[in-house]
């Protein structure tokens, strides 16, 4: 009886430390944030002194044009980086999925950007984008072309390019892994069936990679919605609100505008958005697994 | 339709040479089986014909024209793979019709063709299943149907039955033999299973170590193996080999080994010349008959070590001096382990091989 009890408790005992950290580091702040989002809260106040305002913060935000602007910047940013990164990353993977001399070195080089700290990436690109001494404009001018006002007129495009540079490798390595685990013989069968290289990609490789690509894309999308450091370092959200993504607006609302309640409500909006994406991703994998299991059961029942 | 000719085909991977000049002629509509142990180069040869492996040296001719520079799709062939190689994301009908759809054939024609071949392989009910929802045997049929639908002149099979369980394999082998009669095409079939080779082939090509050991009709290879390897590879249970010396005793040539001496018929001994020294004697189990009254110089005295009961027949593992000999015996014959029995050797069943070169004498 006692041994039985110990057996049942042991796993939970091992899980307990992680559970405690989760509660302190995740659930407590989360609860605090949700609680705070219903209050009119200045950073100088203790939370117990604040006034309960119901869902006023949420309603204010809902009609706030600056928040709309920030949300649409975030959507444009996340949408375009994910589409561009998927296209380039998968394209590169399809191109480099072969045994060439030095390919392993090339692959390592490709994933370097991902390993650099975001703040460093931001600084690096800020210097490269510099209107007069930056790499890009100096190169353009040496070729006799006009410089581009990277972080001014084209700020959003510029941060999008930097993000693509940093995160395409992520898609690339996952797509390459997916490609290399494809059944070789199915591809050989396609060659014999008369598929050109393009048709092999279109009819065989991409459909078979799709489950991995969907999950990868959703992961990237979730990440892109949370991006902060690179843009903070490069533009601080400017000029104007042109690159002020939601995460940046949240931090400014809390520090510059001193409206903790509104910032908390904004965080909750973002949280809901990310939750929907995460659930979509989980649902997708669950559906895939369920389908495979169902097919296997069907075969078993018949035999 | 077209005959296939391999001329001095060589394959090297870096410094490793896996095929050493394969010469092979396959006549129109012939069912050729490449057979041999793992690593003998049979699959490589097939994949070179298919165009999935490059040709290092030599040339492949289909219908008289060289093809080794052509893509697989331009060689006009269909292939069935060992692991079926189905497209997992397409249902059965779309798997079968993939090649036709790539050729942009009219829809009605494609549908008719799919129905036709599905009927032949017995898959009509499963057209809308994905491969994941099919059993191994059914997947094998889809692979077969996909190859049939292409209407190619040449069929390549790369160990198509080796992923199936024993019972299903026997059944599919019989179905293949039936299909073979109605489908008149050039077929090249790779297997390591000598029973598949014997039952299906018009011509067997036995390969070993990247060389062709012998080729010809199954019966010829079985009765007149060119060397010890072919003799040991074809036939089940395999041929028994014993080291002997040829000696002339009173006008008769006798193959004398450890504990026995077998008279060699004059027509054989005349052929090889007397006293040609160190020799390996090969006798198939089916050429040894239990006969207590046989003459001593036409028989082996065998001591039974193990008896494997397999139904009507038992396979006996016996010792003859220092060598082991396998024989077959009707199960009702009363024998005891350890007993010594006399088995008569059928004179047609005597095979002699040079011990050094292993080629038949």
Residue B76 has pLDDT above 80, yes or no: yes
Question: Where exactly does CATH 2.40.50.140 map onto chain B?
Answer: 240-354
Q: Establish if A24 belongs to a structural domain.
A: no
With contacts defined as CB-CB under 8 Å, which chain B residues touch A189? 79, 81, 85-87, 146
- How confident is the model over B335-348, as pLDDT tens digits? 888 888 899 999 88
Q: Residue A78 is part of a domain; what is its CATH number? A: 1.10.3720.10
Quote the CA–CA distance of B355 and B357 in Å, as a whole number: 6
Structurally, chain A folds into a number of domains equal to 1
Are B121 and B145 spatial neighbours (Cβ–Cβ below 8 Å)? yes
If you write DSSP's letter for every residue of B107-126 in order, what string do you get? Answer: HHHHHHHHHHHHHHHT-GGG
Quote the CA–CA distance of A201 and A182 in Å, as a whole number: 12
Q: Residue A250 has what pLDDT? A: 87
Of chain B, the end-to-end C-alpha distance in Å amounts to 38
Q: Determine the structural domain holding residue A221 and report its residue range.
A: 67-302
pLDDT mean over B89-115 = 91
Beta strand spans in B250-298 (E): 252-257, 260-263, 278-283, 288-290
Domain B240-354 class, CATH top level: mainly beta
Beta carbons of A292 and B132 less than 8 Å apart: yes
Q: Residue B273 has what pLDDT? A: 61
pLDDT mean over B3-21 = 89
Question: Helix, strand, coil: what percent of chain B each, to 5?
Answer: 30, 35, 35
3-state secondary structure of B161: coil
Find the residue in A nearest to B88 (Cα). A208
Quote the CA–CA distance of B290 and B300 in Å, as a whole number: 10
Question: Where exactly does CATH 3.40.50.300 map onto chain B?
Answer: 4-233
**Gap from A98 CA to chain B (nearest CA, Å):** 15
Report the percent of chain A where pLDDT is more than 70: 99
3-state secondary structure of B292: coil
Interface of A with B (CB under 8 A): 183, 185-186, 188-196, 199, 203-204, 207-208, 210, 292, 295-296, 298-299, 302-303
Q: How far is CA B229 from the centre of its chain?
A: 13
3-state secondary structure of B50: helix
Q: Establish if A131 belongs to a structural domain.
A: yes
**Whole-complex ipTM:** 0.81
Q: Establish if A273 belongs to a structural domain.
A: yes
Q: Establish if A71 belongs to a structural domain.
A: yes
Instruction: Give backbone dihedrals phi and psi of B340, rounded to 5 degrees, phi first.
Output: -105, 125
Ranges of residues in chain A with a pLDDT under 70 are 1, 303
Q: How far is CA A213 from the centre of its chain?
A: 14
Beta carbons of B89 and A208 less than 8 Å apart: yes
Question: B54: closest CA among B12, B16, B97, B25?
Answer: B12
Are B6 and B22 spatial neighbours (Cβ–Cβ below 8 Å)? yes
- How confident is the model over B155-213, as pLDDT tens digits? 999 998 888 888 888 888 888 888 888 878 889 999 988 888 888 899 999 999 999 99
Residues counted in chain B: 361
Return all residues near A173 (Cβ < 8 A) that are at least 6 apart: A107, A110, A111
Q: What fold, for B4-233?
A: Rossmann fold (3.40.50)
Q: Establish if A112 belongs to a structural domain.
A: yes
Residue B136 has pLDDT above 60, yes or no: yes
Tell me the β-bridge partners of B20.
B10
Quote the CA–CA distance of B168 and A88 in Å, as a whole number: 47
Q: Establish if A197 belongs to a structural domain.
A: yes
- How confident is the model over B294-314, as pLDDT tens digits? 888 888 888 899 888 888 888
**Higher confidence at residue B2 or residue A266?**
A266
Q: Establish if A47 belongs to a structural domain.
A: no
Lowest mean pLDDT among A49-63, B68-82, B267-281: B267-281
Residue B275 has pLDDT above 80, yes or no: no
Q: Establish if A86 belongs to a structural domain.
A: yes
Q: Residue B337 has what pLDDT? A: 85
Q: Residue B276 has what pLDDT? A: 61
Question: A217: closest CA among A288, A284, A286, A118?
Answer: A284
């Amino acid at each position: 009886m006692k041994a039985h009890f110990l057996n049942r408790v042991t796993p939970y005992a091992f899980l307990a430390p992680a559970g405690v950290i989760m509660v302190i580091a995740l659930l407590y702040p989360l609860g605090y944030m949700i609680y705070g989002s219903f209050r009119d809260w200045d950073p100088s106040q203790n939370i117990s002194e604040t006034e309960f305002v119901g869902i006023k913060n949420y309603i204010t935000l809902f009609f706030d044009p600056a928040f709309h602007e920030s949300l649409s910047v975030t959507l444009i940013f996340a949408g375009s980086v994910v589409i561009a990164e998927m296209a380039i990353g998968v394209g590169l993977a399809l191109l480099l999925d072969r045994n060439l001399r030095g390919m392993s070195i090339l692959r390592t080089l490709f994933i370097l950007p991902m390993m650099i700290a975001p703040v460093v990436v931001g600084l690096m690109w800020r210097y490269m984008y510099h209107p007069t001494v930056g790499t890009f404009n100096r190169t353009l001018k040496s070729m006799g072309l006009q410089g581009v006002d990277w972080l001014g007129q084209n700020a959003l495009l510029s941060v999008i390019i930097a993000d693509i540079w940093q995160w395409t490798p992520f898609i690339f390595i996952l797509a390459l892994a997916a490609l290399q685990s494809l059944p070789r013989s199915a591809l050989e069968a396609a060659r014999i069936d008369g598929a050109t290289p393009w048709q092999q990609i279109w009819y065989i490789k991409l459909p078979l990679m799709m489950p991995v690509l969907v999950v990868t894309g959703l992961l990237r999308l979730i990440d892109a919605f949370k991006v902060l450091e690179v843009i903070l370092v490069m533009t601080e959200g400017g000029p104007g609100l042109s690159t002020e993504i939601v995460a940046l607006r949240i931090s400014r609302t809390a520090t510059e505008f001193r409206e903790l309640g509104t910032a908390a409500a904004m965080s909750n909006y973002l949280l809901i958005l990310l939750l929907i994406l995460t659930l979509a991703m989980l649902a997708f994998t669950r559906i895939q697994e369920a389908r495979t299991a169902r097919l296997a059961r069907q075969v078993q029942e018949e035999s | 339709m077209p005959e296939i000719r391999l001329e001095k085909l060589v394959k090297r991977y870096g410094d490793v040479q896996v095929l050493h000049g394969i010469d092979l002629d396959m006549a129109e509509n012939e069912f050729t089986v490449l057979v041999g142990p793992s690593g003998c180069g049979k699959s490589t040869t097939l994949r070179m014909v298919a165009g999935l492996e490059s040709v290092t040296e030599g040339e492949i001719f289909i219908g008289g024209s060289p093809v080794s520079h052509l893509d697989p799709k331009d060689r006009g062939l269909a292939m069935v793979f060992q692991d079926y190689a189905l497209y997992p994301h397409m249902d059965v009908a779309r798997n079968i019709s993939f090649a036709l759809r790539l050729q942009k054939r009219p829809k009605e024609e494609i549908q008719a063709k799919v129905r036709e071949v599905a009927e032949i392989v017995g898959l009509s009910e499963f057209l809308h299943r994905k491969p994941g929802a099919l059993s191994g045997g059914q997947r094998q049929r889809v692979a077969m149907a996909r190859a049939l639908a292409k209407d190619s002149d040449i069929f390549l099979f790369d160990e198509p039955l080796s992923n199936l369980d024993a019972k299903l394999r026997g059944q599919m082998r019989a179905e293949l033999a039936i299909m073979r009669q109605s489908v008149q095409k050039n077929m090249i079939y790779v297997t390591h299973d000598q029973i598949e080779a014997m039952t299906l082939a018009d011509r067997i090509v036995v390969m070993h170590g990247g060389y062709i050991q012998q080729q010809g009709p199954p019966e010829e290879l079985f009765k007149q193996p060119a060397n010890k390897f072919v003799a040991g590879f074809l036939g089940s249970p395999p041929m028994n080999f014993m080291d002997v010396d040829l000696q002339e005793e009173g006008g008769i040539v006798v193959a004398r080994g450890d504990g026995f001496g077998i008279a060699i018929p004059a027509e054989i001994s005349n052929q090889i010349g007397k006293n040609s020294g160190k020799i390996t004697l090969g006798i198939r189990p089916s050429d040894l008959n239990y006969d207590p009254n046989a003459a001593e110089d036409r028989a082996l005295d065998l001591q039974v070590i193990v008896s494997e009961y397999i139904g009507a027949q038992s396979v006996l593992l016996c010792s003859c001096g220092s060598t082991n000999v396998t024989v077959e015996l009707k199960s009702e014959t009363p024998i005891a382990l350890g007993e010594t029995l006399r088995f008569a050797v059928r004179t047609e069943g005597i095979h002699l091989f040079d011990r050094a070169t292993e080629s038949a004498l």
